[in-house]
Structure 1
Amino acid sequence: MVRKVSWGILGCASIAEKAFIPAVARSRTGALGAIASRDQARAEDWARRFGFRRAHRTYQDLVADPEIDAVYNPLPNDLHAEWSIRALRCGKHVLCEKPMALDASEVRAMIQAADERGVLLAEGFMYKFHPQIGKALEIIGQGGIGDVRSVYSSFTFLFAREGSNYRWSPAQGGGALYDVGCYAISAARLVLGAEPLSAFAAARVDPETGIDMTTAALLEFPGGRFAQCDASFESQFQSRLVVVGTKGLLRLGRAFSAKDSDVAIEIVRGDARDEVPVPKADMYALMIDDFGAAVLGKAPPRQPASDAWHNMRAIDACFESIRTGARVVIPEAVL
């Protein structure tokens, strides 16, 4: 029998129910090992519904479960560092939802915990595993639009305030920059293949909740290149990445959400417009299999934990710029 990675999931989050659990079932490398919830009845219900082998009534019971290989952490953002570190210290590999933590110092502590136990840690940016991203990077790398000069990345949507969702709580890491701005910044860094030198950001903060409803950030990169990154809870849906070069531009219309349909990469050179079709792909299953192959020792992970630290440093700089109203220099640093 082919060995599979036994996954434990912390909590009964919507993203786990709608995306991660079905993807584990479709993956080549994963198996549903255990679910944990502070509501024991809910954990048992999920175990029955989705086919988990065990249901735990505490998160600690799950991270200490000797039959679990890897833990998926989709808890509210303020619990990412705490429970990922607990799992790592129990010798579990951890795939943590984005953003990895609330700041770069928390990410550093998570990486240290992973290194001490010799286990894997990665941030759950599933968009990187869609073949449109690989194809776009290939086109750019081959000089298809000339030298890249600027990037425009936007992830926005209309988010109705209902219930007690953590995204409305500043203390829990709510707000548009944490929730979807992390994608826009990640994509800019990925395309430019470098870390930003500085950030200037502004936000509209909701006076009632204190979260940023809309954030716009300008990141400066080496070589006089720039990225404009937009995130919003109060704008028409956008999931867009535009890369502008000296000979043309490349556009992805569903850069972060291309999961249910075929997509196309649009390339514009002067008056000429071409499309490169890309078939639909199972981003979550591809991410799970990439992580699973690394756990099983078959390949290095595509997303090293250090990438999450660099992304968080840029996010930290954006928050500081919002607070101060000034451009924030991001010093060169080594993890």
Structure 2
Amino acid sequence: MAEHVRWGILGAAKFAREHMGPAIHMARRGRLAALATSDAARAAPFVALTPGLRIHAGYDALLADPEIDAVYIPLPNHLHVDWALRALDSGKHVLVEKPLAMAATEFDAVIAKRDETGLLASEAYMIVHHPQWHKAHALLAEGAIGRLVRVSGAFSYDNRKDAANIRNRADTGGGAIPDIGVYIYGATRFVTGEEPEAILSAEIRRENGVDVWSHITARFPTFHYTGVVSMRMAPWQDMTFHGNAGLMRLTAPFNPQVYGPARIELHKPDMTVTEFRFPADNHYVRQVEAFNASVLDGTHWPCPLEFSRGTQAMIDMVWDRERASGRPG
């Protein structure tokens, strides 16, 4: 039995350089073995991280490398499905940056290919690997805040000065909802186990065909939801689960350690607050370690494609609601 997973990365993206490349390098039972890029300057930081790293000039060359077991795909959003399918056809396990697809139905071909090949394929939805989210799920399930009434989420940053950024370009599948809406939508679904019944309102502002701000309200079977995401506001992130017997708030839900320390605040009606702290966990490393264990040992993978498809289905419902309101879709 293999002792570690040999990883390759398709493209020298900034996110791969700053987060996922180091995570693959640090994760137990994995090794960063190859990178596909024709730009020597962009390859240099990866080589410095992992001396002996093999550099392939093209993506197909990396997929043909027999010494690669799994590939991480951080390409622009509109390329994810195509290269995920190519990687699976090449016999590689696949971890694809979110969003894996631009519509829920586009997941179906990847799910079918995963089942056909027997390989692991997943969207890189790292937050479900962080212990704060498992604790939040457990607290809700055990009734720590009573009956859930309201969920609110917010995630924002400001990249208006970076016009060339793929998130600011419609042709690369950009937009705030595809980039960070997946977090507040998916986190709501993960903690509650519920799916939206209806999008009640969708106020969306666009620039150059890309959503840059949105306020969404939705009805779930047992609670109501409101969420704001934006690429034109000061950085902020927060998730709040409000029940009839308490309130649970995650203070750094999506970028712990970078945005701030990961904490869950449990507020009770008597005004007491209990804090749960998670000071050292790196969800990117934990994600890769879970992936390695699933590939090597067949252990449970907590973020199947079906879950990610559900988040995209909620995004699709938001687009439908926007179109129904007579605004651009």
Give TM-score, length-normalised by structure 2.
0.93
| Corresponding letter in the other structure for 2:217 | L
Change in 2 beyond 3 A, CA 1:233/1:43: closer
Q: Residues 274-293 of structure 1 correspond to what in structure 2 (within 5 A)?
A: 274-293=274-293
Instruction: Report how far residue 9 of structure 1 moved.
Output: 0.3
After superposition, the C-alpha distances for 1:122-151 in whole angstroms (9 at most, x for unaligned) are: 111112222111112221111110121221
Q: Which moved more, 1:281-290 or 1:133-142?
A: 133-142
Aligned length: 323
| Corresponding letter in the other structure for 2:226 | Q
Q: Residues 141-160 of structure 1 correspond to what in structure 2 (within 5 A)?
A: 141-160=141-160
- Distance in 1 between residues matched to 2:138 and 2:241, nearest whole Å: 13
After superposition, the C-alpha distances for 1:62-103 in whole angstroms (9 at most, x for unaligned) are: 122211111101100001111111101111111111111111
Structure 2 counterpart SS, 1:218: strand
Instruction: Report how far residue 46 of structure 1 moved.
Output: 4.8
Q: CA contact under 8 A between 1:6 and 1:33: conserved in structure 2?
A: yes
| Corresponding letter in the other structure for 2:28 | R
Q: 1:243 aligns with which of 238, 241, 244?
A: 241
Q: 2:204 maps to what in 1?
A: 203
Q: Residues 95-174 of structure 1 correspond to what in structure 2 (within 5 A)?
A: 95-162=95-162, 164-174=164-174
- Distance in 2 between residues matched to 1:147 and 1:64, nearest whole Å: 53
Residue 257 (str. 1) matches residue 255 (str. 2): yes
| Corresponding letter in the other structure for 1:258 | P
- Distance in 2 between residues matched to 1:19 and 1:28, nearest whole Å: 16
Structure 2 counterpart SS, 1:196: coil
Q: CA contact under 8 A between 1:147 and 1:246: conserved in structure 2?
A: yes
Q: CA contact under 8 A between 1:259 and 1:283: conserved in structure 2?
A: no
After superposition, the C-alpha distances for 1:38-64 in whole angstroms (9 at most, x for unaligned) are: x25346535532325311111111122
Structure 1 counterpart SS, 2:297: coil
| Corresponding letter in the other structure for 1:85 | L
Q: CA contact under 8 A between 2:257 and 2:279: conserved in structure 1?
A: no
State the identity as a percent.
34
After superposition, the C-alpha distances for 1:129-187 in whole angstroms (9 at most, x for unaligned) are: 22111112221111110121221111111113325221111121111111111111001
Q: 2:90 maps to what in 1?
A: 90
- Distance in 1 between residues matched to 2:274 and 2:204, nearest whole Å: 36
- Distance in 2 between residues matched to 1:87 and 1:42, nearest whole Å: 25
Q: CA contact under 8 A between 1:29 and 1:288: conserved in structure 2?
A: no
Structure 1 counterpart SS, 2:300: coil
Instruction: Report how far residue 305 of structure 1 moved.
Output: 1.1
Structure 1 counterpart SS, 2:99: coil
- Distance in 2 between residues matched to 1:276 and 1:134, nearest whole Å: 12
Structure 1 counterpart SS, 2:302: coil
After superposition, the C-alpha distances for 1:19-53 in whole angstroms (9 at most, x for unaligned) are: 0111112110210111002x253465355323253
Q: CA contact under 8 A between 1:19 and 1:284: conserved in structure 2?
A: yes
- Distance in 2 between residues matched to 1:102 and 1:44, nearest whole Å: 28
| Corresponding letter in the other structure for 2:253 | A
Structure 1 stretches lacking a partner, 5+ long: 327-335
Structure 2 counterpart SS, 1:216: strand
Runs of 4+, deviation exceeding 6 Å: none
Q: 1:176 maps to what in 2?
A: 176
Residue 220 (str. 1) matches residue 219 (str. 2): yes
Q: Which moved more, 1:41-50 or 1:214-223?
A: 41-50
Q: CA contact under 8 A between 1:64 and 1:87: conserved in structure 2?
A: no
Q: CA contact under 8 A between 2:153 and 2:239: conserved in structure 1?
A: yes
Q: CA RMSD in A?
A: 1.9
| Corresponding letter in the other structure for 1:28 | R
Structure 2 counterpart SS, 1:296: helix
- Distance in 1 between residues matched to 2:280 and 2:225, nearest whole Å: 27
